[in-house]
Chain A
Amino acid sequence: MGGAAPVDLELTPEERAFRDEVREWLAEHLAGEFAEHLGIGAPGSDEGWDIRLRWDKELSGGGWLGLTWPRELGGRGLTPREEAIFVIEHSRARAPYIATEQGLTLLGPTLLAFGTEEQKRRFIPPILAIEELWGQGFSEPGAGSDLASVSTRAERDGDGWVINGQKIWTSLGDQAQWLYVLCRTAPDPALRHRGLTMFIIDARQPGIEIRPIRNMVGRSEFCEVFFTGARTTDNLMLGELNGGWRVAMGALSFERGLTLLGHQISYEREIQAAIELARERGKVSDPVVRSRLADAWAAIQVMRFMNLRSLSSLFRSADPGSITSVTKVFASRHHQRLTELHAELAGPWLDIVGADYALRPVQSSFLTSRSETIYGGTAEIQHNIIAERVLGLPK
């Protein structure tokens, strides 16, 4: 009866060999400017953009992107376990945070799930080669949490489509060659999410204007995108006509898969930095500080166990399941608490920034963590999802 571990962590000899291969490659290639910028970047951030983009290309050259994607499209055809091993090693080695996250973790898996063969052959290889970057057009000024109320219209015109409207919060939109945009195709707004279609749209055309928005960290990481008679073609419809909601929900669920694992590993480094700071400032023996640090430390350990559970169900059913929504709520809440504690430990120096609003890690984490309960579905929307889809509470 006994024997089976509740956490299926034991690597097979082949997996151990794979891990060693990853480690060796990372050790060899995290050199030069990459070694000088260990741990640079964060989700949705343009910090160290050029270096990170070069790192993505380095990974691409080594064949470390699209690990679970089909070989015929340039992927490696490996297992989710092997991908998880790579993510863990990549984070542990403090490699730069992936720059082309939009293509690699959002649009890519969405294309593989919903795209036509032609679309996959056209778009997957340049994503893996870091030749084409992607931006997401979901939210609008009038459609944030209520995503089903998007009003950007796509209207048929000959064998193509004409798009008019406005999108917002498009991460790194000014870098994108292509956008994937949720549009209203059925004129009756009462149809809500049943009247939406996902389109792939060339971002570099006269009908599209992209304006950066400065966020509270002081960086221009997301944009607003204006569509004025922009055009796309029928074969660039992603999924079915009026079936865009399913595609959008699919894309959002990919965002919560392995990404949390990488975050947890960077939080582990942050708690160590906070402990170190408390020590330097002579506060570590203050019982209140000690207790709060212990709580923060314990929460990050719990994140680790939650991620292991997600992985364990991912490995068995290829679906991380609803545990990821739960983990996201837990992780974002406790990460905010950690950054608040870390900020407090910095004392009055927290308030002093560098020239051009240059921030130290403690400052940028403190500010960035506010976005973690907003992007990819606010904490409140996550609570609704958990309550309605997991617990079955009525709408």
Chain B
Amino acid sequence: MDFAFSEEQEMLRSTVRTFVDRNYPESKVRELMAGETGNDPALWRQMAGQLGLQGLAISEKHGGSGFGFQEIAIVMEELGRALVPSPFLASIVQAGTYLMHCGDDAAQADYLPGIADGTTIATLAIAEESGQWDLGEISLTAGHGPGGPRLSGAKLFVVDGGTADLVLVAAREPAGGGLSVYAVERGIPGLSMQPLQTMDQTRKLAHLRFDAAPARLVGQRGTAAQALEMAMYSGAVALAMEAVGGAQRALEMAVDYAKIRHQFGRPIGSFQAIKHKCADMLVEVEAARSAAYYGVWCASERNDELPLLASLAKSVCADAYFQVAGENIQVHGGIGYTWEHPAHLYFKRAKSTQILLGDSAYHRDRLATMAGIA
């Protein structure tokens, strides 16, 4: 049951899995989720230095290895499988994709090498008070004075926004001037980062407030929409892959447990109530995997189907993940409801995956429009 990822790509997958298995056991995940940053800086550096994961899709000119989105997607699937808390989604997928598509040579030269070698953690701030990731909802504006642009306003639910060294802020130019992106660096006056306590503790979010914070334009004024869309689509497909990895793991946990847990003198997996539940979980996972892998292909080709696949893969995979993670708790019974058991970590991650970058109702509405349901 596989798609044709190349042999080299499968080698990358097994390298990542070995690294993750060795370095991010459940105890490590729990240690990081209890902490504030949700990242282990030493492992993050190792990921960059030894494996070169952060630079996979970044060009060689900017310190990366010049592969593409397919490789990034494989990494996301593996990180999702083990619930690895790390800024990979924020820094590599979201901020990285925007930077690679923004057409701003100077900003690329300044920021991408640090992102590629893991010394800079970046993020992309989209959502505001409305709690939506639709680019049309962006209302934060930049003031333009003699000292350069200054940002005022707020960005909410920013992934790794409490620890990022570099925040790329999506803003709207006044008077119908379109969208721009401004870079704000950690520690500058006028930027306050408010880390949040999250239900899914494996993914850290923050609210950011800007009070005339000095910022640097990244890309051209008013023309950031296209690169922002690419970042959103890539983010959606990457989250879909993360969901597939997590859902697959939750399925395996349920099946393994159903084989060893005995009640009424038999393994519970011999009862059809459990058997059929597990079979349905597999159907969900395989449907999700099919959508996600096709989405990855569209994203790597940047083809016409990408906007559609981003919404489709994101909603289908996040919903499948949520379903499977919930059933995993059910198959485990009482033990699955405890804090000690990892089932709830997957359930909570599945929920945050559904919410982030637009929930399933939002993406289904986009799908409806693209499918001509009007």
Contacts and interface: CB of A to CB of B under 8 A. Distances in A.
Interface of A: 1-8, 275, 278, 284-285, 290-291, 293-295, 297-298, 301-302, 305-306, 308-309, 312-313, 316, 321-323, 326-327, 329-330, 380, 382-384, 386-388, 390-395
Contact of A309 (B12, B293, B301): B293
B255 A306 contact: no
Given A2-B68, A301-B291, A393-B255, A7 B3 contact: yes
Interface string B1-29: 11111101100100000000000000000
B61 interface: no
Nearest to B366: A294
A329 B279 contact: yes
A-side interface mostly: helix
A164 B367 CA distance: 57
A223 B365 CA distance: 46
Interface stretch (B138-146, B178-186, B268-276, B338-346): B268-276
A6 B365 contact: no
Contact of B374 (A3, A285, A316, A394): A285
Contacts of B289: 309
Contacts of B2: 309, 313
A321 to B, nearest CB: 6
B276 A305 contact: no
Interface stretch (B165-173, B226-234, B280-288): B280-288
Contact of B3 (A6, A275, A322, A391): A6
B179 to A, nearest CB: 26
B108 interface: no
Contact of A308 (B282, B283, B294, B367): B294
A6 B300 CA distance: 10
B283 A386 contact: yes
B243 interface: no
B283 A305 contact: no
29 contacts: A1-B6, A1-B12, A2-B67, A5-B301, A6-B5, A275-B371, A275-B373, A294-B368, A294-B373, A302-B290, A302-B291, A305-B293, A306-B290, A309-B3, A313-B1, A323-B1, A326-B286, A330-B286, A330-B287, A382-B279, A383-B275, A383-B280, A384-B279, A386-B282, A390-B282, A391-B278, A391-B279, A393-B270, A394-B269
Contacts of B372: 275
For the complex of A and B, the 6 pairs showing the least CB-CB separation, nearest first, are: A4-B6, A305-B290, A387-B275, A294-B368, A386-B279, A393-B269
A394 B6 CA distance: 34
Given A1-B9, A2-B70, A330 B368 contact: no
Nearest to B11: A1
A3 B6 CA distance: 8
A120 to B, nearest CB: 32
Contact of B315 (A5, A298, A383): A298
A302 B278 contact: no
Contact of A293 (B255, B269, B361, B368): B368
Given A294-B371, A298-B315, A384-B272, A4 B4 contact: yes
Given A5-B297, A275-B372, A295 B364 contact: yes
Interface in B130-172: none
B259 A5 contact: no
B279 A7 contact: no
B267 interface: yes
Interface residues of B, number: 52
Nearest to A390: B282
Q: Which of A309, A382, A390 has the most CB of B within 10 A?
A: A309
B71 interface: yes
B367 to A, nearest CB: 5
Given A6-B293, A275-B371, A284-B373, A394 B259 contact: yes
Contacts of A382: 279
Contact of B297 (A6, A387, A392): A6
B102 interface: no
A108 B71 CA distance: 43
B287 A383 contact: no
Nearest to A329: B283
Given A1-B9, A284-B374, A384 B4 contact: no
Contacts of B280: 329, 383
A5 B302 CA distance: 12
B149 to A, nearest CB: 36
Given A7-B4, A383-B275, 12 more contacts: A5-B301, A8-B4, A275-B372, A293-B368, A294-B365, A305-B290, A323-B1, A326-B286, A329-B280, A380-B276, A387-B276, A388-B275
Contact of A305 (B68, B270, B282, B291): B291
B316 interface: yes
Contact of A326 (B266, B282, B365): B282
Contact of A312 (B4, B315, B367): B4
A104 B361 CA distance: 44
